[in-house]
Structure 1
Amino acid sequence: MAAGYKRKNIWFFHHYAVLPSMNGQIRPFNFGKMLKEHGYEATVFAASYLHHANRNVISDGRRCLFIDEEGVPFVFVNTPSSASGLGARIRNMASFYFGVMNVARDYAREHGKPDVIIASSPHPLTMIAGIRTAKKLKIPCVCEVRDLWPEAIFSFGKVKEHSFLGRILLAGEHWIYKNADRIIFTKEGDVDYLKERKWDAGQGGDIDLEKCHYINNGVDIEAFRQAITEERLADVALQDEKFKVVYVGSIRPVNEVGLLLDAAALLKEQRDIQFLIYGEGNQMEELQRRIAAEGLTNVTMKGYVERRFVPYILSQSSVNILNYSQAKYNWTRGNSSNKLFEYMASGKPIISTIKMGYCLLEKYQCGISLESSTPEELARAILKVRDLPHGKYEEMGKNAQRGAADFDYKALAAKLMAVIEGL
């Protein structure tokens, strides 16, 4: 156990948490593994329906399923599918909210109560469940804010901020921040949101900014490097000598993968450039039709790929693309995408199709951020990286790896332990 820390039992409430063998959020597992190495105990409570894989790990009527993988116990709470639309997603969230409180109560009777609960968003019900459970157990609750809800809902236009529902959502959000013993934001600038709302004590509000902390997402560098060596994808396109422009992620409107096709159309005459797009989503067929109709032989849609192959894919690229919608999200406060840190760990230059606040590409000089997100600007950025002198290209890749080291889960776990011990 590291000096200065004493053994504690930590519970994570995280709706979308999964084990490394599954597709989804592995941040709680990574933290649990690192905390265990420092003498802590960690248990993760998650939903049984795996949103990113569209399957349920519980096939019968049992309330929960216990799985211990690599010494990090997971308690999967039985929840219904969220796949059939908004109503199903709301039912899934509500089911986890009530289910995790009931399962946690019984789990505490059998295994003893924890010292701290860490309850994570994006949806606020998990954080409310964490606060309520912690109050009953008379322990502190740390709320981890990964996405600012309801701001994200407002930005999509699904709910108006000044509507009756919008005001209720804001009141609930404020209650969470007020009642959390500590708040962890995954984006560096998210604390600015409290100031914009004038909820901070400095402007007469009731939230002390001293209880706010910044711990971004990250990457397990040791596991990432091991996967590059041991989990090689048999894909001849990755062995090609061409300049490989790689995107790995969802193929959905918010990711605007169509922009890559627009840039590819402008670069059709550049025979040494090949776009490789890995992932799946509801725009796959539409984009494949475009590729065929426009004769984009310089674009290949690779489809779904297992997570274990992602480190190798990224390591074989020439440049990796962070592709997002500029209009459908507020990027002024930074980025907490897991993909960003995997891109950095791969040691390859990065092009972001959006300009973010608190930009890590600028901080570590490891890539290019586009100002206006046009196909022409993206095409120019790709050519710029391709045409870099060899030494400058290598330096950009090394900068990316140095930046990734600051977001290795070992470093992030040390920050989390400091928050826990500060309670």
Structure 2
Amino acid sequence: MAKKRDYYEVLEISKTATITEIKKAYKKKAIQYHPDKNPGNTEAEDKFKEAAEAYEILSDEQKRAKYDRYGHEAPGGFGGHAGGGFSMDDIFSQFGDIFGGHFGGGFGGGFGGGGGRRVTRGSDLRVKVKLTLKEIATGVEKKIKVKKYVACQHCNGNGSENGTAYTTCSTCNGSGTQTRIVNTMLGQMQTQTTCSSCNGEGKNITKKCPHCSGEGIIREEEVITINIPAGVAEGMQLSMSGKGNAARHGGVNGDLLIVVEEEPHPELLRDENDVVYNLLLSVSTAALGGNIEIPTIDGKVKVKIDPGTQPGKVLRLKNKGLPSVHRYGTGDLLINISVYIPEKLDDGEKNILSGLENSPNFQPNKSVKDKIFSHFRRMFD
């Protein structure tokens, strides 16, 4: 797969370009590589789509900021068609107004329409997907059932009986647009508007499809496979181009937006790419040391507790956390140590502790006191 070019390079603009400069640059490229000027030239068509993709991102303030920060590998993508999902219909349905009638604003197709036939777009769908820490750590493939509008198979999505009961609009001759000459103080000006007779579709249905009532879409349940990358986080949104609702009477499908939800782990907490476990030791284990079994994302492991381990100490298991969604490495497992002090003691336990009370090893020395004071001072600074 060819490496994507920088969007600013594609449009030949600086990174400080204004929206007016971006629009002007895109229009120049679009005219240069327009299929009407380059019939049968696949290289020109690719550059035409590349320019449209660059314009989609750089003309949107939020997408541009995300691109400036992360580049093409932005977490969750950019939504829409950025990523190579543009078709010619997509481009003219979204950005047709930028050409100002230079080429008529679009392509024919479907119903034999002409240059400016309006291309509708289906609505986006949003779903939530719950993931465990284990699934987030490794990435996962999920199959979900989605109720959505799909193109009617009986009429091929055009809304007419058997897909053939329609006529070309006589008002616009199938172009979907009407051109008018308007006299102004500056002279005659040509304007182009959506055809009022066919609502820009370039055709008129003579007999509706009985299965979809002439809408061209029906509601069905579809099983969609979603590939979730490793390292995603709560609230992150992924996008699947063309997996949303189908458009009425043909056109471009909307997108499927997947919102990530994290299922709480019974023992582990997430802190960005690190995972935290709060370990509660008994007084004897903290004093004498030992081996303790703790949970990780991948299962149980044993860690060594050194004799004399103090409350507040943090043990770190390298690379036992979560991978970065940007592929910048893997987090760690942090073990926060606390020591349990029993609230009630029997007489035998009291006698044992009383016997140790005067032992110098059970009295905090100056070094320990200084550490405790320094710890609390940092807490309140």
Verify same fold: TM over 0.5. no
Higher alpha-carbon Rg: 2
Q: TM-score, normalised by structure 1?
A: 0.18
What TM-score comes out, normalization by structure 2 length? 0.19
Q: Identify the structure with bigger relative contact order (alpha carbons < 8 Å, sequence gap 6+).
A: 2
